[in-house]
Amino acid sequence: MGYPHKSWYSKFLHRHPVISLKRSEYLSASRAKVTEEHIQHWFEVTEDLLKEDNWFHILEEGNRVFNCDETAVWLNPDRGCVLTKKGEVAFSISPNSDKMNVTMLFTIRTDGEFLTPFVIHKGTRLPPLYRQLLQPGWKVRCRKMGWMMCEAFMYWIVYDFDDYLMRNNVPKPVILFMDNHVSHLSLECTEFCFTNRIILACLLPSITHLCQPLDVAINKAF
> Is a pLDDT exceeding 90 seen at residue 56?
yes
Q: Where are the domains of the chain?
A: 30-77+97-219
Indicate the pTM of the whole model: 0.73
Q: Which of 132, 131, 105 is nearest to 118 (CA)?
A: 105
Most confidently modeled of 5-14, 174-183, 189-198, 205-214?
189-198
Q: Is the pLDDT of residue 138 over 60?
A: yes
Lowest mean pLDDT among 7-11, 163-167, 185-189, 206-210: 206-210
Binning pLDDT at 50, 70 and 90, where does residue 148 land?
Answer: confident
Beta bridge partners of 199: 175
Read off the pLDDT band of 82 (50, 70, 90): low
Task: Name which CATH class applies to 30-77+97-219.
Answer: alpha beta
How do residues 193-218 score in pLDDT, each as one tens digit? 999 999 999 888 777 777 788 887 77
Q: What pLDDT is attached to residue 84?
A: 62
Q: Measured between alpha carbons, how far is 21 from 69 in angstroms, rounded to an integer?
A: 30
> What percentage of the chain has pLDDT greater than the value 90?
27
Torsion sign over Cα 18, 19, 20, 25? positive
